[in-house]
Amino acid sequence: MTERVPAFDLHHPPDQALIDDCVHCGFCLPTCPTYLLWGEEMDSPRGRIYLMEIGLQGETMNDQMVSHFDRCLGCMACVTSCPSGVQYDKLIEATRQQVERRHPRSRRDRAFRALIFRLFPYPRRLRLLRGPLRLYQRTRVGTLLRRVGLLGRLPARVGAMERLLPAIGPAQRLPEVTPAAGERRRRVGMLSGCVQRVFFPEVNAATARVLAADGCEVVAPAAQRCCGALSLHAGREAEAQAFARDAIATFEAAGVDEVVVNAAGCGSAMKEYGHLLRDDPAWAERAAAFSARVRDLSELLAELGPTAERRPLPVKVAWHDACHLAHAQGVRAQPRQALAAIPGLEVREVAEGEICCGSAGIYNLTEPRPAGELGDRKAANVLATGAELLVTSNPGCLMQIRAAIERRGERLPVAHVAEVLDASIRGADPGSLLDRG
């Protein structure tokens, strides 16, 4: 009789004590995007916790079990809705790590993931793509391929990547130090990100300007690398830890009060460094202290209180809560506050706001079909607000929702909240925000 290999080994399996917090009430089901799509217990937080539990009891980690873990977006909407306080975030993180270490993936799967993780956490490599991609876009090769129907023939995942490409503009680099305007109230570090710094450099520029305007000296160390968010959320533990140590060291060296992040996924990951490095005696305390100083842009602005005048922007905007900001970090009020402070700006809530747009890190690359359905759902809800501009705080969400809107044959400009604040502070014309692709 073949022995059953239990699903988890002893290195940080999902914690039984955390699993025991689940009372099986099911309040998480209606907030879970995959349960909304498929209505199956296994693809709900309650069901996934159940799979973890039976894994701990000794059931094998087979393809089906792994598929349900893979299909979890990691959006943490369940954490928000759970009345019992189940820390699902820690459970899925531990589980994903186990999956990465112990479950043999298909060759294709492995190759695709290897590609992603050799590319996205490395801004220099991403930058190498800028030129060719820009050419690709300017010569409208993609449009031609789409029209001819060839694009649809590509494997779904590659097609997904293609559709998500933002319009590539001219290159920009953040200065190492941006001085504060007027009295210096804080000296803050700023994470420039990977996708953000390469594909949305204007967002970083706007972020630095806004912080400076409200009295922050902004330090964006040129040496900084990836924060490790994608790796952490995909269960690649060692890789994430390496990035974390790097980031901590870089920002410690910069001597800053807080570290400001303008990408929700990155901010969420950095706030978890303490947990991520808890086993490393050399880093545990440092990491915890570091995490305590991480702030989302809107958090810091709310803490400081605005000093620069917000000039009117008579625009109707729809605000999209990024999951890693609202659910994972619990930051909901501050971005709304920041937008509300802009005279003339009307902020409209998006229906089903707590449901993920489908971006979820690399989810829209590894699971393009549900990601696409969720994107469509989000796009419909966003368009239904009648807003003129979509505002969010995460590059992934931005790309995902824009792609979904375009799929419907509609157009809606999208902007990062930093860009909106920046436009307001500079007294820019609303057109600068609205007249974009």
Partner 1 sequence: MDRDALIQRFTDVVGAHGVISERNQLRTYECDGLANFRVVPSVVVLPETSEQVRSVVAACHQAGVPFVARGSGTGLSGGALPVSDGVLVVLSRMRAIVEVDLDNQRAVVEPGVLNLQVSKAVAADGFYYAPDPSSQQVCSIGGNVAENSGGAHCLKYGFTTNHVSGLEVVLPDGELVHLGGKAPDPPGYDLVGAFVGSEGTLGIATRITLRLLRKPEAVRTLMAAFEGTDHAGDAVSRIIAAGIVPAAIEMMDALAMEAAEAAVHVHYPEGAGAVLIVELDGPAAEVEHQFAEVERLCQEAGSTTIQIAADDEQRALFWKGRKSAFAAVGRISPDYYVQDGVIPRTALPEVLRRIAELAGERGLRVANVFHAGDGNLHPLVLYDGDVEGQEERAEELAAEILYACLEHGGSITGEHGVGFDKKQYMPKQFGADDLQVMQLLRCAFDPEGRCNPGKVFPTPRLCGEVPGPRRVHPVEAAGLAEVF
What residue ranges bind partner 1 (CB under 8 A)? 20-21, 23-27, 29-30, 38-42, 46-47, 50-51, 54, 59-60, 62, 64-65, 68, 81-85
Taking the least distance from each CB to partner 1, the nearer of 81 and 137 is 81
CB of 59 to partner 1, least distance (A): 6
CB of 56 to partner 1, least distance (A): 13
CB of 1 to partner 1, least distance (A): 16
CB of 291 to partner 1, least distance (A): 24
Q: In what order do the strands lie in the sheet with 216-219?
A: 177-178, 216-219, 186-190, 258-261, 294-296
Taking the least distance from each CB to partner 1, the nearer of 68 and 310 is 68
Please check whether residue 248 is in contact with residue 402, taking contact to mean a CB–CB distance below 8 angstroms.
no
Q: Comparing C-alpha atoms, which of 252, 230, 248 is closest to residue 239?
A: 230
Taking the least distance from each CB to partner 1, the nearer of 65 and 389 is 65
Taking the least distance from each CB to partner 1, the nearer of 68 and 96 is 68
Using CB atoms within 10 Å of the CB of residue 357, give its burial: 0 to 12 exposed, 13 to 18 middle, 19+ buried.
buried
Please check whether residue 215 is in contact with residue 180, taking contact to mean a CB–CB distance below 8 angstroms.
yes
CB of 266 to partner 1, least distance (A): 29
CA-to-CA dists, residue 20 to 1, 14, 15, 24, angstroms: 32, 11, 9, 10
Taking the least distance from each CB to partner 1, the nearer of 16 and 139 is 16
Taking the least distance from each CB to partner 1, the nearer of 50 and 122 is 50
Taking the least distance from each CB to partner 1, the nearer of 59 and 376 is 59
**What CA–CA distance (Å, rounded) separates 97 from 138?**
40
SS3 for 219? Answer: strand
DSSP 220: -
**Residue matched to tokens 């609202």:** 326
CA-to-CA dists, residue 79 to 59, 112, 160, 322, 408, angstroms: 25, 30, 28, 14, 32
CB of 168 to partner 1, least distance (A): 39
H or E element that contains 241: helix 237-254
Q: What 3 state SS string does 72-87 have?
A: CCCCCHHHHHCCCCCC
